[in-house]
A and B are shown apart, each in its own frame.
Chain A
Amino acid sequence: GQQVMQIPQYQHVQEGEDFTTYCNSSTTLSNIQWYKQRPGGHPVFLIQLVKSGEVKKQKRLTFQFGEAKKNSSLHITATQTTDVGTYFCARYNNNDMRFGAGTRLTVKP
């Protein structure tokens, strides 16, 4: 199945700075999910986007689904040390579930 490309692979920010990770696909997606994995932990579901152009917010996190449903982004405003971890996008299409490689976020206090 088609993979989802996720960039950047790593991001190091100063606490209080913003952070964005992007997920891109060459094919149209039926939906996209975002997960967070803390160091030493397991992936935890954050949100699912289904509609073209959809934007959802969870406190300081903003999730977007592209108009063409081929890309998505996760933006964190004013990062905190609790945001540390790896953020994965995941797509389900035609009985095929695939995770992106993830973006590892580190935050310097």
Chain B
Amino acid sequence: DGGITQSPKYLFRKEGQNVTLSCEQNLNHDAMYWYRQDPGQGLRLIYYSQIVNDFQKGDIAEGYSVSREKKESFPLTVTSAQKNPTAFYLCASSPGGGITRETQYFGPGTRLLVL
């Protein structure tokens, strides 16, 4: 089945540690996104990529980094510079092209907790 997978489902981070969240899609979508969701709040955009080897900062990029070496993969690294990383992280993808009708489809999410 076509879809978006995220791993792990739960991730624990120690102080000063970098951790990487995985996002893979087999929908042949050009565009991919990372969002952060805090309890009781909406989603905020961290980074997005419209094509392989290119990505742009979203609204809350500080303390995060990404890479887009393959069309199907868009990993997110939460660095030690992110002082409050506890949140639910959602990855999404869309066909690309930037038309307003274009729908983003989401993965199941990764819950990151700080030890």
A and B interact physically: no
Residues of B within 8 A of A (CB): none
Residues of A within 8 A of B (CB): none
